[in-house]
Amino acid sequence: MNEAMKQMQQKNAANPSGILMYHPPGRPFAFGKSLAVEFSTEVLQAILVIWLLAQTRVGSFAGRVGFVLIAGILAAITTNVSYWNWYGFPGVYNRQLYTDRDCRFLSRRNRAALLLRKARSGSLKLLSV
């Protein structure tokens, strides 16, 4: 480790640090637009995980639920471990975020597992609802 890195570590250890998102006054905020973006993102996630599930040969309900659970965990750790590691987000924040994301994926995975069934030919078909 070079001298500059050692000095930076000492500076970080001796001083407060954090990350702050600041927007100057006048930033427009449209609640409806933000809600629509969030909803669209979650619908896209659900479509993608159902598509991935349809590419597998998982036959049981528990297997399909487990597949989507793993997909949800992968989605959660993709960003949140980095937030904890690089930016110092507290562990309680990450645990709450995982719980929230897991609850949303629980809802999706159960619907996906119920919608998809194994056909006798070995391919997955959507059930009509």
pLDDT at 118 (0 to 100): 46
Mean pLDDT rounded to a whole number for the chain: 78
Locate the domains of the chain by residue range. Answer: 59-129
pLDDT higher than threshold 70 for residue 19: yes
pLDDT at 14 (0 to 100): 92
Distance set, CA 28 to CA 23, 36, 41 (Å): 10, 16, 21
pLDDT at 121 (0 to 100): 39
pLDDT higher than threshold 70 for residue 105: no
Q: 40 vs 19, which has greater pLDDT?
A: 40
Residue 87 structure tokens: 């930016």
Cβ–Cβ under 8 Å, residues 19 and 83: no
- pLDDT, one tens digit per residue, over 49-76 is 888 888 888 878 888 888 888 888 887 7
User: How confident is the model over 9-18, as a mean pLDDT?
Assistant: 86
pLDDT higher than threshold 50 for residue 93: yes
Cβ–Cβ under 8 Å, residues 39 and 79: no
- The percent of residues in the chain predicted with pLDDT above 90, rounded, is 6
From CA 79, how far away is CA 83, in angstroms rounded?
6
User: How confident is the model over 105-126, as a mean pLDDT?
Assistant: 56
